[in-house]
Amino acid sequence: MTQDDANAADIVMGDVVRLEDVLSRDSAASLCKSFFALFGLPVRVLSQEGDLLAEAHRDRPLCSYLNTLADGRHRCSQTLGEAHSVQPDSGSIVHPCFSGAVYRIVPLFHQRRPIGRFIVGPYVPIEAPSAPESLGSVESIDTGAARAHFSDMPRAREDIAEQICAHLGEVLEILVFFGHRAQLASAMQLASVRESYRELAEKSEALTESHEELKQVDKLKSTFLATVSHELRSPLTSIIGYTEMLQSGAAGALSEEQSEILKTVHGKADELLGLISSLLDLGQLESRTLDLRHEAVDPRALLSGVGSTVVPSANRRNIALDIRVSAGTPKIWGDAIRLRQIMLNLADNAIKFTHEGGQVELGAAPAQLEPGDPSGVGSGLFTANRPAVVLLVRDTGMGIAEDKLSRIFEAFYQVDGGTTRAHGGAGLGLSIVKQLVDAHGGTIEVTSKPGEGTLFTVTLPAANPDA
């Protein structure tokens, strides 16, 4: 275990390791200055190792005079060093100086452990009436001057000095207590932050691993769907081809019942082929391998073509189909086949979910496409809106509940999901529509009210007028 680890362990256990770790030096310095201003007694605060943490003193004339003499300077330095090195075990210790002054050394404790000490002095006990003979033994000293300076030294009764030092020790220990508590709070907070960070790092790593696993699973799913779809389409195309041959009478005349059966087989095979094609499109869109061939597409021709395709279904259910293209609507810049796929999916859905006698409207009008850049907002602030075309598909059908609107573009999600749902489909149409719109750099929005109908709004970039 390193020293830092040991210190951290001591802090967690509530033990103080070093005075300098828990005592505010600014607070200690202010306390020492106040003590010196109040009592006139020099004071120094030392760590357990003897490092000076705070002090307040003023050189007295006697000390200044003695430091001008080589022998006096040596003795002063030696006495002060001895005072600094004294480590009292319990109570205060009075350490004498050759000058007649004394140093009172007081230990500092926290939780019954010595953590440092403070030294008060030098001062002269009132009980000492005159300078001692040891002061006159300093080489080259002027005895008269030394005795005159001795009389100017700060004085204190020993019992009073002891009481003052006891009070100073209590105040310092209070500072230590609050400093220690602040250190414990800081250490606990730091430990909590580190633990939270560790937990977050572990969760982030687990999420990253899960994400990578899900990506692999999704890739396998897409590969599986693409492979199966390709493998199914070839035999299914053959089934449709042979069914058409039988319906044409290539294998002989058919009875009315046989013709009806083949018609059903052909219809279901067409539905299955459409589902397989949707799966292939979805796989290409998810893997971003779908090739779009952009050109200028006339919205009027686009909607007319879609309308002629879905009008038989509308007529069978007595649904009015209305196509409206506003004057001045520009051409769309996009893949004509995929744009038809978008509108055909939306129109089919509108008719499917509209009651008999309802209405479906296909429309187109000029619009503006707001700039959007995934890399940041800044580019959008300085980029003008782009000319666009808005394509509308509105119906008066059953509508979509608000809590389901956010999920309708999810693959395989169906508004009327369940084993008893009334409408067919695999739930891929709107997902493919959304991804095709995104691939064109456009947007799609939906508003709906149950019982009143649904409006899909597709906004796509307009072609250059010269195109």
Q: Which of 8-12, 43-47, 352-356 has the lowest mean pLDDT?
A: 8-12
Judge whether residue 423 has pLDDT over 60.
no
Q: Which of 38-47, 219-228, 300-309 has the lowest mean pLDDT?
A: 219-228
Main-chain phi, psi angles of 338, to 5 degrees: -75, -35
320: helix, coil or strand? strand
* 48 to 107, 167, 398: CA distances (angstroms): 9, 20, 85
Whether 290 and 247 have beta carbons less than 8 Å apart is answered as no
Judge whether residue 7 has pLDDT over 70.
no
pLDDT tens-digit profile of 263-312? Answer: 888 878 877 777 777 666 666 666 666 778 899 999 999 999 999 989 99
pLDDT tens-digit profile of 328-378? Answer: 999 999 999 889 989 998 999 999 999 999 999 999 999 988 765 444 444
Domains recognised in the chain with CATH numbers: 1-290 (no CATH), 295-461 (3.30.565.10)
Q: What tokens were used for 197?
A: 């960070």
357-389 per-residue burial string, b: 16 or more CB within 10 A, e: under 16? ebbbbbbbbebebeeeeeeeeeeeeeeeeebbb
pLDDT tens-digit profile of 137-155? Answer: 889 889 888 888 888 889 9
Sign of CA dihedral 245, 226, 291, 386: positive
| CB count in 10 Å sphere of residue 250 | 9
The pLDDT of residue 269: 80
The pLDDT of residue 361: 95
Which pLDDT band, with edges at 50, 70 and 90, does 247 fall under? confident
**Quick one: three-class SS letters along 8-75?**
HHHHHCCCCCCHHHHCCHHHHHHHHHHHHHHHCCCEEEEECCCCEEEEECCCCHHHHHHCCCHHHHHH
Instruction: Give the residues across from 453 on adjacent strands.
Output: 449
The pLDDT of residue 371: 67
- Mention every residue, 6+ apart, whose C-beta is less than 8 A from residue 308: none
Main-chain phi, psi angles of 160, to 5 degrees: -70, -40
Main-chain phi, psi angles of 115, to 5 degrees: -125, -5
pLDDT tens-digit profile of 160-187? Answer: 999 999 999 999 999 998 888 888 888 8
- Give the Cα separation of 134 and 141 in Å (integer): 11
- Mention every residue, 6+ apart, whose C-beta is less than 8 A from residue 314: 320, 321, 351, 360
Q: Which of 106-110, 300-304, 429-433 has the lowest mean pLDDT?
A: 429-433
* 426 to 10, 290, 416: CA distances (angstroms): 66, 21, 11
